[in-house]
Amino acid sequence: MKRRIGILTSGGDCPGLNAAIRGVARASYELFDAEFVGIADGYKGLIEGDYREMKRNEFSGILTLGGTILGTSRRPYRNMRVIEEDNIDKVAAMKANYKKMKLDCLVTLGGNGTHKTANLLAEEGLNVIGLPKTIDNDIWGTDVTFGFHTAVDIATDVVDRIHTTANSHGRIMVIELMGNKAGWLTLYAGVAGGADIVLLPEIPYNIDSVIASIEKRIANNRSFTIIAVAEGAYDKAMADMKRKARVQALKDGNFPSVSYYLADQIQGRTGLETRVVVPGHYQRGGSPSPYDRILSTQFGTYAAHLIKEGNFGQAVAMKAGQVSHNPLIEVAGKTKFVPKDHQMIQCGKDIGISFGE
């Protein structure tokens, strides 16, 4: 029986998307009579009917390629049922284009927002399977997402390189890493890179504690300090604010982001030269690590088995070292935060890292 499969990548790009696309396609070709439809730029392409039939050779030579051959875009879930100025019913349009493409299944590669829209489509009666990608590693129900380990490698390299210049000049270096809601990337890169202070969105920092850690290092003849801070971190003075209010407070203070605010706090209180490093989208780019190539391939091939079985409405996941799946309805809309008692946090504390508490 031939199965016609649509595939799209949505949300922020990350290393491993093409490897996962390749895994889905190659395993499907082996398991059953398959044909693929590539949907351009995520849900935008599904809404606008921007798609093409893909040939088998398009899935070769992309294992190590970063980004996504299908293109991607952000289409906020909160607006999916809202009729905007273009007067398009987005849900109706996606359902109509799914039918127009004559799909038997839609495979979506994305993060939390992508999973929420995937579940919406499943609830509307479409056959959908989700694959978990994000450098933030914050998707509920999976131990790890593809893209995360590559980003940790890149972010750790940034921390490593900053060490030498910080040491040479005796500076306080604030390195802002990605992670708006969850601090997994900053936590792992901070520990791996030997940061002295790690600040996460899950643990509002106390500036007095941060300065005390810096002064302790100075007392121990360490002239520099490396601070890894997640972009979504904030101090205890902002703990009762909603995220939009915190962002506005930074703007009102002419601070582009939390790292500049933190640097200003430190230099203002101590007089020590403090610099900010923001690697930004550098953390998303380039070829996936061998780990992520393997993980993406595992997730992709598992999705092909779900398609063969007709087991739709599922999100692929890694659980206790085994590739498995969760119902989309159980994971959509849930964020996996770093628990304050997580073993990696305790590990960091055991080697002297301050979390600004």
Shared-domain flag, residues 215 and 99:
no
pLDDT at site 244: 86
Same structural domain, 187 and 245: yes
**Residue 248 clears pLDDT 90, i.e. is over it:** no
Domain tally, the chain: 2
Q: Is 136 a catalytic residue?
A: yes
Same domain, 298 and 279: no
Is residue 288 over pLDDT 80?
Answer: yes
Active-site hit among 13, 41, 104, 136: 136
The reply to whether 80 and 161 lie within a common domain is no
What one-character DSSP code corresponds to residue 155? Answer: H
Residues 122 and 40 in one domain: yes
pLDDT at 34 over 90: yes
Please check whether residues 129 and 15 belong to one and the same domain.
yes
State the residue range of the domain holding 48: 2-147+288-331
Task: Identify the residue whose tokens are 């073993």.
Answer: 343
Answer whether residue 305 shows pLDDT above 90. yes
Same domain, yes or no: 78 and 100: yes
What pTM value is reported for the model? Answer: 0.94
Is residue 348 included in any domain, yes or no?
no
Q: Give yes or no for a contact between 137 and 187, defined as CB atoms under 8 angstroms apart.
A: no
Q: Which CATH number does the domain housing residue 205 bear?
A: 3.40.50.460
Question: Would you state the pLDDT for residue 204?
Answer: 95
How far apart CA 111 and CA 258 sit, in angstroms, is 24
12 pLDDT exceeds 90?
no
Residue 75 banded pLDDT, cuts 50, 70, 90: confident
Average pLDDT over residues 41-59: 95
- Does the pLDDT value for residue 1 go beyond 80? no
- 341 domain-assigned: no
Give tens-digit pLDDT for 188-235: 999 999 999 999 999 999 999 999 999 999 999 998 999 999 999 999
- Could you say which of 250, 284, 318 is where a domain stops? 284
Do 191 and 96 belong together in one domain?
A: no
pLDDT band per the 50, 70, 90 thresholds, residue 87: confident
Q: What is the pLDDT of residues 129-183, one digit of tens each?
A: 999 999 999 999 999 999 999 999 999 999 999 999 988 888 899 999 999 999 9
Rounded to an integer, the average pLDDT of 48-65 is 96
121, 60: one domain: yes
Residue at 354 is within a domain: no
pLDDT at res. 160: 95
If you average pLDDT over every residue of the chain, what do you get? 94
- Exposed / middle / buried, residue 321 (Cβ in 10 Å: 0-12, 13-18, 19+): exposed
- Identify the pLDDT of residue 243: 84
Domain-embedded: residue 230: yes
Flag whether 350 is in a domain.
Answer: no
- For residues 156 and 109, membership in a common domain is answered with no
Instruction: Say if CB 52 and CB 1 are below 8 A apart.
Output: no
Alpha-carbon gap, residue 357 to 338, rounded angstroms: 15
Average pLDDT rounded to a whole number, residues 242-263: 89
Least confident segment among 112-116, 167-171, 173-177, 345-349: 167-171
Residues 143 and 153 in one domain: no
Percent of the chain with pLDDT over 90: 83
- Other CB atoms within a 10 A radius of the CB of residue 253 amount to 10
Question: Do the domain assignments include residue 201?
Answer: yes
**Domain identity same for 21 and 137:** yes
In whole angstroms, how far apart are CA 86 and each of 24, 40, 45, 83, 93? Answer: 34, 19, 15, 8, 12
Predicted confidence at residue 242, as pLDDT, reads 84
Q: What pLDDT, on the 0 to 100 scale, is given for residue 277? A: 95
Beta strand ranges found along the chain (DSSP E): 2-9, 33-39, 51-54, 105-110, 128-132, 172-177, 197-199, 225-230, 274-277, 314-319, 322-327
CATH code for the domain in which residue 68 is found: 3.40.50.450
